[in-house]
Chains A and B, each alone.
Chain A
């Protein structure tokens, strides 16, 4: 379906000629001339303007009445005035009208300081009110849902929240009742507003009428800092802005990215953070909704929000019923299931107890070294690409074991995985909106990547997208549906498939069928068509590309020696053929963890029981880890972490540290690098920048990526020049990062090049040299920037993050810090 391609026109606003896209609404077009037209009800994300608040009245030459800037498309030659006395009087009068029944309780209002009504009253209001009649008073605040409080005195009836419920999430639970001045926002007969995306109405509300029950009275806008990062609780990887006060994340807001999340968040992403940071055992102050206190998986939190709205597959329903841990009982050392791990733990006398880092590292190192090639590792949850890379190296190069995997369920051979990841075949998020048709194959967006559910609804609602679901169990039905959609709806067909499609024994056959179908329908040739895989884990795509696969080196290149995949690892452990297991942010015994969810017939219980060494790196102490781990390293929550993740559509995004790490937690990369040292392997990584650099060097199609380039918006690698490196590395042998980083990646076609790892190339010395610009092939500009950034440490306590070109600088209130 054709994307809108606006042409630029020139119009006059307040006496100045301004260029703007044709048919943009005046409110938006005015911004091109740095003119702000105040609005309350206008929010383009919510669909067509409604023109209800009347705040945006402007004068247009040739039209008698004042017009609403939110609903008037700009035309070439239009002459607009926002500064005339007539307009100003109208603006003053609208503010006066709005404040008639507004309680003006700003000093005790949670929105105070970040309130559009305050700002607009200050900027455009008359400063006085002539209203001396009694105002309305009623009970406030009231519960609207377990997470949202409503204050109907403050409501200015802008319609945003009800439009969201009715037209965006389409749950139609939130409505206006009564009429005229008596109208109020409510649900039916006192039912709570519980829906997967309900929290967005808090952010939409332009006054303090809808507030977050967990954030109420926790901070004032001048007490807080904003920190941009990426939520890694599910593969949707929504861009978020964390509100930080005193090194604690107080709330999660959307950091709109039209290519990722379209400016929305699911309730899980919005409200689950405290549970992840604090663990359970202390009550999380977000109300009574069990879906919010969810602890699902080791820091993965991959349980979907409350309820599916349309056609919830029975399986999805079950997965949605998220587990709630029972009140945990602590051992004498204060260690209990569900707690946030804040310091290393060591099993001693059958019980886990806190130990020093040195002790834990050395114990783990000794045990792993002993197991050597009989070690295996799994990475899940919000593991970053860098951590994945280092884990794979620890195993392959430190321990000589290729048994490392990041796939919860599938075990496709590299060749097929590569074909499925072919850049031309990859659909991107915005294709879900504009495609002619989308076929969901073994995938339930609401569960697997909730925010895509809204994107698909938008496509259906606004662009007539045809949406169908099909089960992978019947390949004929799949072919029939895809072909029919392609023939009837249009050639831009996107097949969104869940990782579980290829999970079974016939995964390879299914993958081939899908590839043949894509070929037959030429999905790779049309821009808006393609495949989009939703991996089972949040950073599934990135971890595979970083080489957390038993048969692949970074960049999906053949590794030469094929190790065991997830299921085979479990079986080998259970059979005693492997003896040690490293669990990076996953627990295959934890209900809700993708590895557990996908492992019905996998003998994980036996595997962990029999393994002589289990080392876990986890945010929360899950039951399996609590039961079986010999050593537990604390892992960072995503708000504490620095690194990159890769979106299912190939967008490499930065995860930025927003708060200090809990307790004595060390960075994930650091733990892995130190552990590597313990087993006698120098990873060469000394800080998080170097870790990222290693990644960009190691993955050919991430070539010459820099953190600065990724910035706050990320970059889709398929759209970069280095995407061509994907094709040329299909048959190349194992390469090492330092080589591919400096030179032209296109040149690495020689399969004989460096078949084995060469630890020396990762030496710290060389990286130091690189950073100083001494490396001849290094980009001098990037290196200089790099060097400069070392001095630009942001200075946030406990944080080692640097402050350049990053999303949402601390203290900035902008949506992004680019």
Chain B
């Protein structure tokens, strides 16, 4: 195939230039019996389907589960889910490619989403992202991504490391962040959102009546 002439500023999405391979068979609903689906994944997907009046609703959680197992929504992963859900792989591919958290390409196993939306970028998120990208370098363990608003502007600039929100992050936190993640330790424990109190001074959160705590713990 001859290369496509590109002009500066032109853009392409992956897949736009991909023709169908006419040697392949059409991608119909895979036969469950002849598709090699790991038992655990099959059990998970079947359990998910049972939660909804319509099994299709399980598509996103099922793809999540397959991504956990395969690292990304690979064609193989999609075919496995399609076989259990009895839908065409195209249906799932269409869903998977719509959502930011479902990966369409192989990625590192640790995801670091750096929020670069307005509130975070007002507080230095772009520099933070650069620092994380630079520090992670070519490490194939990491999947560093700029992400849209993660809903934690109170700890801007912040990042979600394998689902754990940390912030506000200084550039100097970056090496520790990556090191903690690599070694499987809790990431930056002091900066985790889970430990943070509500900002509202009127919430009186520190003067909670002691007796209620005692009752609660009984």
Contacts and interface: CB of A to CB of B under 8 A. Distances in A.
Nearest to B100: A179
A172 B13 contact: no
Secondary structure call for the B interface:
loop
A189 B94 CA distance: 11
B91 A139 contact: no
Contacts of B26: 171, 173, 187, 191-195, 306-307
A175 B93 contact: yes
Nearest to B74: A189
A135 B10 contact: yes
A188 B24 CA distance: 11
A144 B20 contact: yes
B27 A187 contact: yes
Given A137-B6, A145-B20, A191-B20, A184 B15 contact: yes
B90 A174 contact: yes
Contacts of B94: 175-177
Interface in A409-462: none
B121 interface: no
Given A137-B4, A288-B22, A178 B97 contact: yes
A268 interface: no
A605 interface: no
A795 interface: no
A188 B75 contact: yes
Contact of A177 (B5, B6, B19, B93): B93
Contacts of A193: 20, 26
Nearest to B75: A189
A8 to B, nearest CB: 38
A142 B20 contact: yes
B146 to A, nearest CB: 16
Contacts of A139: 1-2, 4, 17, 19
A182 interface: yes
A193 B26 CA distance: 6
Contacts of B91: 172, 175
A334 interface: no
Interface residues of A, number: 40
B73 to A, nearest CB: 11
Interface in A189-221: 189-195
B88 A189 contact: no
Nearest to A166: B91
B7 interface: yes
B139 interface: no
Taking each of B5, B9, B88, which has the highest tally of chain A beta carbons within 10 Å of its own beta carbon?
A: B88
A188 B18 contact: no
Contacts of B1: 139
A479 to B, nearest CB: 32
A187 B21 CA distance: 10
Contacts of B19: 139, 142-144, 150, 190
30 contacts: A137-B4, A137-B5, A138-B16, A139-B2, A139-B19, A142-B19, A172-B91, A175-B90, A175-B93, A177-B15, A177-B93, A177-B94, A177-B97, A178-B15, A182-B13, A184-B13, A186-B15, A187-B90, A188-B89, A188-B93, A189-B78, A190-B19, A190-B21, A191-B24, A191-B25, A191-B26, A191-B90, A192-B21, A194-B26, A306-B26
Interface of A: 133-139, 142-146, 150, 152, 171-179, 182, 184, 186-195, 287-288, 306-307, 309
Given A134-B8, A190-B19, A190-B20, 8 more contacts: A134-B10, A135-B10, A137-B4, A139-B2, A172-B90, A172-B91, A188-B93, A191-B90
Interface of B: 1-2, 4-13, 15-22, 24-28, 75, 78, 87-91, 93-94, 97-98
